[in-house]
Structure 1
């Protein structure tokens, strides 16, 4: 059975061109970029080329990109690094209840170190209200961290307005853009953002490589010590093969990002329309923003009242369809998503939510098959 994959928000397959770009640095050009001999210079040249490529794509200077092991490290570097560097200015941090756990758990650790964290609520579509941010700002606020695109419901946050508010109050602004890179245009030369996190494996690049943008004025205490790599901000031998793969993935998405956006929107509409025709509008609920300007097109969160998330996911898996709950898995049982809780959705909606996320390999035929399988599953369970 060929698997139909609807979990691109979790990870994406490495494209053949990306794997081809990586292979030479695993087999032939294996030098350490810190070495001064020719093999080291060869690796260093690849490092510079990749940094230039990715920086150009997101609109920043190459020197402002710090390569990391992925989105989690980038988020942690931003929060712990900025908190340590600005501790003398204050100990108050603002974030939201729907952030990725890489931010929320980092904030919990910072609270144990004496910082105070305000977790903002969101509206029923998962978006932060600008007025709530404004009211949360205090004289001792040093950092605001709000994600660009929510990984569970696709809500796009008002990043520009929050950034302008932060800048007006002398507060550092960090944005987790892991789900935004490659799906939304990002121009850091004009966005009022001080730090932004990225990860390669969300756009058909390899796992284990990411980056943190840090504006020139941003002071960060490093998480890792031991070498002068990444301008002394992130010690450790650079992962040249994965960095080259990250760069190639960016080059590919840069060529066809608009077409991909249109494709994702079409697939999303196809899925919703198919469910409407097969189930009826009263048998499912789409969670998150409805307006295209307020959501990312590649994420579709749907609840099927009367059928638990776990039951639906298991039945889909038996049919060869991979989807997700978007929530944590503890001791083998699915927990209600912290994102849906924060949106204050009805219990039956939260406990029947499934996330479908699309990518470069998704086809209209797969979407139609999935809609038909869901209708069959719903009918079977209802008549059981």
Structure 2
């Protein structure tokens, strides 16, 4: 039996990063805005003297940047250490006021699923809504699950693995109708919007949401910073207590530089959205056409590429039949190519992706799927470099797998 050999490595390995859903590089312009507050303007924003007030003023400027993009008031924006903290604050902070029933989906990020699992242990009743085979949740399924004691509904805006986008505005309108009909303020509506900036609207009024999470790590901003939008009037119990920073919801000295970076990064990614979406759509479609032409027995997981309203424009999640996704990731890495499998936040977990299993993929299909996510630094030369090696690597791994089975 002739086993296809792996392609010869080039003398100069090109670095091709295709895991933008896991983390984005820090935009140089964003860093330039942060740099003064990493060096000279280091004072505590709570201090009354001029240096401290300068830092406080910069934080409030960033808060206003975010508020304008979300079309909300400044005092509804809470800065946190990232999306995980924001999701925990939204979920645990709201339900501490009223026990009952929570609705979420089976494809949420673990930053949502795990705090909800903990609440289930504490006596809350949980309903997990199943998506269709494309990872899209039916609005009517959520409506049918609402009960008189439902206190919170949490549905992610866009999935970090397969890129499926939910109809958040439609869900929000449905919840508003239910509240009005039943004369109640519940259930509150939370969405994890970490993957959506630069793809779709963040206007909280159009989306009809009460709580929204976002992360600096996904918008070409700094890591270790995020936001929670909290609609006025919602009672929220803080997770941490101390100096009462961030309106008393997030005690601790503010990370001034990171907050400033978040504000400018969000502003820039939204400003460049139209251009970037067009660029990434063309590259992603070109990449998929190349894969289809040169690699047999592969298929896209999630919504079709032609439906821009249902799929993140930079996401290409592919099942390579007969290939171990982990092996493919490691071999590509040896050629300087970085890709993702599952969620980057659960890399120590060897179980198949809960997202792929939720959309009716088999365990074998789930462990043979790889996520390619493009970013504004991705070029056609990058895709061509990947295609120079990907087909032969896949072919070689398939033959290795065949031999191991025999």
Q: TM-score, normalised by structure 2?
A: 0.90
Report the counterpart of residue 257 of structure 1 in structure 2: 273
Aligned counterparts of 2:87 and 2:345: Cα–Cα separation in 1: 21
Per-residue CA deviations over 1:242-272 (Å, capped at 9, x if unaligned) read 0111112123223311101111111210111
Counterparts in 2 of 1:63 and 1:333: CA distance versus 1, 3 Å: closer
Within a 5 Å distance, the mapping from 1:249-328 to structure 2 comes to 249-280=265-296, 283-290=297-304, 291-327=307-343
Alignment of 1:339 with 2:330, yes or no, is: no
Aligned counterparts of 1:327 and 1:61: Cα–Cα separation in 2: 33
Aligned counterparts of 1:242 and 1:329: Cα–Cα separation in 2: 21
Aligned counterparts of 1:345 and 1:284: Cα–Cα separation in 2: 14
Per-residue CA deviations over 1:303-339 (Å, capped at 9, x if unaligned) read 1001111121111111111001024788967321000
Aligned counterparts of 1:93 and 1:331: Cα–Cα separation in 2: 27
Which of 148, 153, 165 is the matching residue for 2:162? 153
Report the counterpart of residue 218 of structure 1 in structure 2: 234
Q: Report how far residue 229 of structure 1 moved.
A: 1.2
Q: Would the aligned equivalents of 2:294 and 2:391 in 1 still touch at CA under 8 Å?
A: yes
Within a 5 Å distance, the mapping from 1:172-251 to structure 2 comes to 172-251=188-267
Which runs of no fewer than 5 residues in structure 1 stay unpaired? none
Per-residue CA deviations over 1:76-110 (Å, capped at 9, x if unaligned) read 0000001012x1xx410000000000000000111
Alignment of 1:38 with 2:50, yes or no, is: yes
Q: Report how far residue 368 of structure 1 moved.
A: 2.2
Per-residue CA deviations over 1:135-159 (Å, capped at 9, x if unaligned) read 1111100100000000000000111
Report the counterpart of residue 28 of structure 2 in structure 1: 16
Counterparts in 2 of 1:186 and 1:269: CA distance versus 1, 3 Å: same
Aligned counterparts of 2:155 and 2:118: Cα–Cα separation in 1: 17
SS in 2 for 1:11: coil
Alignment of 1:26 with 2:35, yes or no, is: no
Aligned counterparts of 1:345 and 1:352: Cα–Cα separation in 2: 10
Aligned counterparts of 1:49 and 1:111: Cα–Cα separation in 2: 39
SS in 2 for 1:144: strand
Q: Would the aligned equivalents of 2:46 and 2:52 in 1 still touch at CA under 8 Å?
A: yes
Q: Would the aligned equivalents of 2:22 and 2:344 in 1 still touch at CA under 8 Å?
A: no
Report the counterpart of residue 349 of structure 1 in structure 2: 365
Alignment of 1:52 with 2:64, yes or no, is: yes
The farther-off stretch of 144-153 and 132-141 is 132-141
Aligned counterparts of 2:346 and 2:109: Cα–Cα separation in 1: 17
Aligned counterparts of 1:84 and 1:332: Cα–Cα separation in 2: 31
Counterparts in 2 of 1:332 and 1:189: CA distance versus 1, 3 Å: closer
Aligned counterparts of 1:329 and 1:217: Cα–Cα separation in 2: 33
Aligned counterparts of 1:103 and 1:348: Cα–Cα separation in 2: 26
Q: TM-score, normalised by structure 1?
A: 0.95
Aligned counterparts of 2:167 and 2:116: Cα–Cα separation in 1: 21
Aligned counterparts of 2:292 and 2:393: Cα–Cα separation in 1: 15
What's the Cα RMSD here? 1.6
Aligned counterparts of 2:398 and 2:372: Cα–Cα separation in 1: 22
Number of residue equivalences: 379
SS in 1 for 2:378: coil
Report the counterpart of residue 121 of structure 2 in structure 1: 112
The farther-off stretch of 39-48 and 56-65 is 56-65
Alignment of 1:129 with 2:143, yes or no, is: no
Q: Would the aligned equivalents of 1:270 and 1:368 in 2 still touch at CA under 8 Å?
A: no
Q: Which has the larger radius of gyration?
A: 2
